Structure 1
Amino acid sequence: MVEFRLRQLPGECRPLLDKFYRAHRSHMRVPGDARCWVVSHTDIVAGLCLTRVDEGYWLTGLFVAPDQRNKGLAKRLVTEAVAACDGPVWLFCESRLIGFYEQLGFEKGAVLPSALADRLQRYNRNKALIALWHDNKRTVCALPF
């Protein structure tokens, strides 16, 4: 059985997550001030970014390598990264992904910081996205690998 390692990337290693996104032809990029979390074996197989916004964080860039999907990596990655935050976490997603995020404790009805509300309004001009939030006070069970 393959053993995966989940960790927050040190700042100097953040370009590795950008390289992972590019290798999979993803449009995602690492924001300059983001905390980056990854799952790796020998190479990165999944990643996400958390950027400080007001009193919380904005989760972006969740991506799992296609050949590593359906192994619970995204659930474990989101659960661990959110648990390490010291405030609420917001994200935008397509409606087909709401159920996935609800399993992890995210809810609709997010009151967004103004910077995120403006961004969501701009994004929704081209693609319908839903804002979700996690209050980060409830305990969500971590999923073992």
Structure 2
Amino acid sequence: MSEVSIQLLSEPLWPLLNKFYRAHGSSMKALKGGRLWVARDTGIVAGLCLTPVVGGHWLTGLFVDPAYRGQKLATRLVLRAVEQVEGTVWLFCHPDLQGVYDRMGFTQETLLPQSLSERLVRYKRNKPLIAMGLKS
């Protein structure tokens, strides 16, 4: 494997991130209005989306190609993306992933913008989730 680079994906290339998600059987989608970040080797090997919300950004769509897992690529990608934004970065994750985000500096967050709070209530009807945040 060559050196993986992390970069903001330009808007004309956004469909490539959705293609990456689909290729791995993920239901994730890049959100319009967000900033899409990717890790690339010969192609996209990881991605995420940061969408502006009141008081900060919402991190969604973090996915790493299984062949690239265990290399702290998710951590590198998240920390590179969040250094470019102001305010709090919030995410929702399964409770089993809390330790991963703790190590990145996220903490369990109870004060969410209303739009995210409402979303979390809806999402929790179908799966266990916790909200976490990172103040930048």
TM-score under structure 2 length normalisation: 0.97
Instruction: After TM superposition, give the deviation of residue 87 of structure 1 in Å.
Output: 1.3
User: What is the number of residues matched between the two proteins?
Assistant: 136
Q: Tell me if the contact between 1:59 and 1:90 (Cα under 8 Å) persists in the aligned partners.
A: yes
Tell me the residue number matched to 1:40: 40
Name stretches of at least 5 consecutive residues in structure 1 with no aligned partner.
137-145
Does 1:125 find its partner at 2:125?
Answer: yes
Q: Secondary structure at the match of 2:126?
A: coil
Instruction: After TM superposition, give the deviation of residue 72 of structure 1 in Å.
Output: 1.1
Q: In structure 2, what is the Cα distance between the partners aligned to 1:41 and 1:109?
A: 33
Q: Secondary structure at the match of 1:126?
A: coil
Does 1:11 find its partner at 2:32?
Answer: no
Give the partner amino acid of 1:10.
Answer: S
Tell me the residue number matched to 2:89: 89
Tell me the residue number matched to 1:20: 20
Give the partner amino acid of 1:107.
Answer: T
Give aligned-pair identity as a percent. Answer: 50
Cα distance change of structure 1 residues 38 and 25 upon mapping to structure 2, 3 Å threshold: same
Instruction: After TM superposition, give the deviation of residue 104 of structure 1 in Å.
Output: 0.7
After superposition, give the CA deviation of every residue in 1:73-125 in whole Å (9 maximum; x if it has no partner). 10100111111111110000000100000111100133100000000000000
Give the partner amino acid of 2:56.
Answer: G
Runs (4 or more) in structure 1 with deviation over 4 Å come to none
Q: In structure 1, what is the Cα distance between the partners aligned to 2:109 and 2:50?
A: 20
Q: In structure 1, what is the Cα distance between the partners aligned to 2:49 and 2:27?
A: 14
Instruction: After TM superposition, give the deviation of residue 12 of structure 1 in Å.
Output: 1.0
Q: Tell me if the contact between 1:90 and 1:110 (Cα under 8 Å) persists in the aligned partners.
A: no
Q: In structure 2, what is the Cα distance between the partners aligned to 1:110 and 1:40?
A: 34
Q: Tell me if the contact between 1:87 and 1:135 (Cα under 8 Å) persists in the aligned partners.
A: yes
